[in-house]
Structure 1
Amino acid sequence: MAVRVGEERFSELVKEALSELPPDLAKYLRGLEIQVEDYPDDEVMLELGLKPPNYPFGLYEGPSILETDNPRDFPGRIVLFRRPLEEWCQTEEELRDQIRRTVFHELAHRFGFSDEEMFDELRAGAGFPWKEEERHKEATRYLNQAEHDLRAAELLLEKGFFDWALEIALTSAWRSLFAFLVKIGENPEAIAEEDIPKLWARAARRDPRFLRLRELLRLDRITVDMGEPGLPPPKERVGEKRAQEALCAAKKTFALARGDGNGEI
């Protein structure tokens, strides 16, 4: 269900996003105009090569900081498209986050970055909404791999490779959480770099049953890298009990993500 906040509240959310800018960046905003429009016009859609319902979230018009003689005061305009942003989000919290990402993305253009040059946090925020069919295909793809990972973790556990079993089980849990979130409407690009704690928190907000899988947070803190010099290697640090716990948690996560009742196994 799309969220609707009205023009006044939307403008407040935009101001909140701008207020989060570090002072070192905010000083370059002189001359910048920020406007809110319902939808992009036909000319913008044609220029971007888009057709409804694939609308952009925002647009920057003007020179970059690399093209001006006075980097602290030069003209430019950011246009945010309210309806596409509202239609993409299901809660005001999500809308606030997406506005923030889009504002920062368009500011990155002002600072001279292309889409390809932006780091993930900025690039992910201003993509175009995935169609429902595309999201479901992507969720299914991740769930299929998560199920395969579970079988691999079981075999590794049986053979006594406990460190590998734990790592593969947690990989399965990550993919299951990702699949669940994508299936219910999250932007795959926006969450692709998030770790298990962040994905779990998102999933728990959407479905409280994931709160029962808080053990994932503890298990995710178990590292399987070599660590500091002299530290026992992972094969000695990770025992059978921890590997079994990780596999059990991963199975429950997969079951919930797939929609199998309460995730019991």
Structure 2
Amino acid sequence: MIWMSEEEFENVVSDALDLIPGEVSARLKNIALVIEDDPPPGGPVLLGLYEGVPITERSDMWGIGPLPDKITIFRNPILSICETPEEVAEEVAVTVVHEIAHHFGIDDARLHELGWG
């Protein structure tokens, strides 16, 4: 396990977002990315969580002003499985890509096929 301040972790998440290709990030509309220390108690241990309606499930009648989708990155679970800052950066990048993929309607099975499992 590695320790990293909240500010350092936020910088790692920001760096991971910078790795997202421009054509993908340009399609990220009405989505909030937040960092929390831990996932909700009593549930599975999560590194990240996408909450919202994937783009592939939206209709033309989606409406004006829907609540934003939300991607949460969980700091403590990621830090608990990493031993170096480089491992944290890699795990955060994979987690961010994984959750953004869910926003675009890509499920876990397809992510595994693509090597992002």
Please give the range of the TM-score, normalised by the shorter of the 2 chains: 0.7 to 0.9
TM alignment of 1:198-213, pairs within 5 A: none
SS of equivalent to 2:73: strand
User: What is the CA–CA distance in structure 1 between the aligned matches of 2:115 and 2:91, rounded to whole Å?
Assistant: 11
Report which of the two has the higher share of helix. Answer: 1
Q: What is the aligned counterpart of 1:90 among 83, 92, 102?
A: 83
CA distance in 2, matches of 1:85, 1:14: 11
Residue 28 of structure 1 aligns with which residue? 27
**Helix, strand or coil for the counterpart of 1:24?**
helix
Which stretches in structure 1 are left out of the alignment for 5+ residues? 124-265
Distance 1:120 1:25 in 2: 17
Aligned-residue offset at 1:87: 0.7
State the 1:21 CA deviation. Answer: 0.8
Corresponding residue number in structure 1 for 2:71: 78
The higher-RCO structure (CA 8 Å, 6+ apart) is 2
Q: Determine if contact 1:64/1:110 at 8 Å carries over to the other structure.
A: yes
- Tell me the SS of whatever aligns to 2:49: strand
Asked whether 1:60 is paired with 2:69, we answer no
The answer to whether residue 116 in structure 2 is matched with residue 122 in structure 1 is yes
In 2: Cα distance, 1:120 partner to 1:29 partner: 21
Indicate if the aligned counterparts of 1:86 and 1:95 stay in contact, CA closer than 8 A.
yes
Shift, 1:121, TM fit: 3.0
Shift of the alpha carbon at 1:42? 2.6
Superposition deviation, residue 120 in structure 1: 3.8
How big is the shift at 1:67?
Answer: 2.2
SS of the aligned residue for 2:33 comes to strand
TM norm structure 1: 0.40
- Give the distance between the partners of 1:109 and 1:80, measured in 2 at CA: 14
Match of 1:8 in 2: 7
- The reply to whether residue 102 of structure 1 matches residue 92 of structure 2 is no
Name the TM-score, length of structure 2 as normaliser.
0.87
Q: Match for 1:22: what amino acid?
A: P
Counterparts of 1:28 and 1:4, CA distance in 2: 34
Q: For the residues of structure 1 that align with 2:106 and 2:114, how far apart are their CA atoms? A: 12
How many residues in Structure 1 have an aligned counterpart in Structure 2? 111
Q: In the alignment, which residue of structure 2 is the partner of 1:246?
A: none
Q: Is the 8 A contact 1:101 1:121 kept in 2?
A: no
Equivalent position SS for 1:60: strand
Q: Which runs of 4+ in 1 moved over 3 A?
A: none
Is structure 2 residue 29 aligned with structure 1 residue 18? no
Residue 12 of structure 1: CA displacement?
A: 0.7
How far has the Cα of 1:96 moved from its partner?
0.2
Q: How much identity, in percent, do the aligned residues show?
A: 33
The within-5 A match list for 1:210-221 is none
| 1:3-29 Cα deviation digits (max 9, x unpaired) | 111111111111111111111100121
Who is 1:180 aligned against?
none
RMSD: 1.7
Distance of 1:10 and 1:25 partners within structure 2: 23
**Aligned partner letter, 1:105:** H
